Structure 1
């Protein structure tokens, strides 16, 4: 009986061992077989050669260099009011707003009332005018009496001349006081009513006051909004931020094209009015002012726009800006000399734009340059160079060791 039990136990152990071996064999058969590693590109002289069918070749998109032509240069710009046709109104006297006669969008002419203020300070100016007029009349009467007395021989000539001088000063004070009150629309009476009126013909484009608001003459200057902004929107200024290399194109009177996002495909035309003589230290750009016609009132102030000018290049070739890389301090492109073979080429730029560049030296029209993933290719070229130098150094070390071991 014991022998039978021993035989059964041995059979179970053998069956378990066989099962483990079968499972292990199945696991080994299902394990993935590592794919062979693709051959790496190598450097031969100044060329980087890829083996045929290398997967990285699909990423290196090439494009033929084109002969130089007129290049559109795009510059950021902003539309603002034409300051030659714009008036900003600030309070000249302290007072309280009693009436508002104009609102945004209302057309106005010269002298159109905009608002009215109750101003004790303006009333004081009116009173000064009335007082000066009274003093002038009194002086004229005194002069008349002095002339009669001088004719009778009662007073000396110097007394008459002194009286005439006092009358002339009084008349000058009347003229000054009247001019001051007339400048702000003052009437002949003292009513403390200050009228704010338009000084130009245009449209109310901004209003920053409310009924009953208290105003002071010190509420003016940079950072303080005016009470009213009047402008003629029939033309607008364009503030263009130009780079240093573009200043020669933006001379006074030079034409340019303007595009805004609100009207895709619509091109507006303008001309350059003036350019600043200094570079903005914050943006490193030169401020250029242009003028664009807006008779149809489609353009609005503070719109962001793109100003486009065209520059002619009689020589050189044009390639995408993405094709240009840096080799140290030199600009370079990668030229495909034959399928799978690339070489770096130092170049000289005549113009560098955000989308296209003009190359004056180092490249010929028709040559294929890497237009996409040029930085990836530059990195691969550097790695291949290091590998080539490492293999050359190892070979030199081995040759030196063999020579040293030789008897």
Structure 2
């Protein structure tokens, strides 16, 4: 019985000691600092805003033209280059003439259309005449049906001839003139199908070219990509799809599209993003630096100088009416002079961002760990 009472007394003592120790540790989180001490130590405060991601580390990037943004102008017919109407790096507009091509095939296509259009007009005239004769009872209905079939066949042949000339690069005005019996042209003008910049010219004046041979390239630089090289070890830390990247020394914004599937020999992976602002300030192939935000969200961006370490924990000193409270936080990432932390913080609270070593000494002297 005596031993049982002793054990019960020891248990109560341990519980009381543990409760007392916990209360002391809770009290040790807060400590007093008078306004005079605050001024004497030169402690500066910073107000916490709403939680937001901090700008991440800077990584190298290269400006890339999406494949769909480059148009290759090729020769629709065999012939010779009569004249180049643009130069490399020249800005062009939609519908602007680029190349004048002389081709014997162009004459043949125009002749075919002229003959088909003539037969179609004749067939239509015959149909009108036959309809008049049939209405007077002079000819049988079979003659009308034959004339209708002939007119329909002639229209189809004309449409086919117009399509062939259109595929050769002829514009609507040229096709209409030929079909109406106007003068034929001995040269073909090739036009820009979209605005952009002439990035490369493969042909020269007087050169003989074959059908489908590339003549020049026009790049529409209104839409560009950035290929950012990220170390594989950092891939899980950087921004997810849809995040916004910022240029380091350019007023440039880009939206993350995703990671490439291949790791390079230098152990980097490509983070592709689409430029949403500032595309006019960069050129295709240009190398630059962009800042990639971290993937963590819902935390606080604080200066490096505001965080103190004690044992294996990190703390911020949050201002109170009587002094400060050492608030435990978790550091998730860092970039430059900023840290991304998560903890029991609220917008509007003030934290110490200077002389935190002095505050740590005061805190530990109050009852914190040594």
Which range, TM-score by smaller chain? 0.5 to 0.7
- Contact map agreement 1:78 1:305 (CA 8 A) in 2: yes
Work out whether 1:136 is the aligned partner of 2:120: yes
Q: Distance in 1 between matches of 2:207 and 2:337?
A: 53
State the Cα distance separating 1:193 from its structure 2 match: 1.5
Output one character per residue of 1:92-125: Cα deviation in whole Å (capped at 9) or x when no partner: 2222111112112434333322221122233332
- Contact map agreement 1:89 1:228 (CA 8 A) in 2: yes
> Structure 2 residue aligned with 1:275, among 248, 252, 257?
257
> Can you give the 5+ residue segments of structure 1 that lack an aligned partner in the other structure?
1-67, 220-225, 260-265, 321-334, 336-347, 361-365, 367-407
Work out whether 1:291 is the aligned partner of 2:273: no
- Contact map agreement 2:238 2:292 (CA 8 A) in 1: no
Work out whether 1:310 is the aligned partner of 2:293: yes
> Structure 2 residue aligned with 1:181, among 141, 144, 165?
165
> Structure 2 residue aligned with 1:250, among 241, 247, 250?
241
- Contact map agreement 2:55 2:335 (CA 8 A) in 1: no
- Contact map agreement 1:117 1:195 (CA 8 A) in 2: yes
> Structure 1 residue aligned with 2:198, among 193, 204, 208?
204
Distance verdict in 2 for CA 1:153–1:209, change over 3 Å:
same
Aligned twin of 1:12: none
Q: Distance in 1 between matches of 2:112 and 2:95?
A: 24
Aligned twin of 1:93: 77
Distance verdict in 2 for CA 1:205–1:117, change over 3 Å:
same
Aligned twin of 1:115: 99
- Contact map agreement 2:239 2:293 (CA 8 A) in 1: no
Q: Distance in 2 between matches of 1:110 and 1:275?
A: 29
Work out whether 1:153 is the aligned partner of 2:141: no
SS at match of 1:174: helix
Output one character per residue of 1:250-295: Cα deviation in whole Å (capped at 9) or x when no partner: 31xx432124xxxxxx2222232x725x842455545433334244
Work out whether 1:240 is the aligned partner of 2:227: yes
State the Cα distance separating 1:210 from its structure 2 match: 0.6
Q: Distance in 2 between matches of 1:113 and 1:69?
A: 50
Runs (4+) off by over 6 Å: 82-85, 315-318, 351-360
Q: Distance in 2 between matches of 1:240 and 1:316?
A: 29
Distance verdict in 2 for CA 1:354–1:84, change over 3 Å:
farther
Distance verdict in 2 for CA 1:71–1:151, change over 3 Å:
closer
Aligned twin of 1:370: none
Aligned twin of 2:47: none
> Can you give the 5+ residue segments of structure 2 that lack an aligned partner in the other structure?
1-51, 305-311, 313-329, 343-355, 357-370
Q: Distance in 2 between matches of 1:179 and 1:93?
A: 14
State the Cα distance separating 1:315 from its structure 2 match: 6.2
- Contact map agreement 2:53 2:293 (CA 8 A) in 1: no
Q: Distance in 2 between matches of 1:248 and 1:237?
A: 19
Work out whether 1:70 is the aligned partner of 2:54: yes
State the Cα distance separating 1:247 from its structure 2 match: 7.3
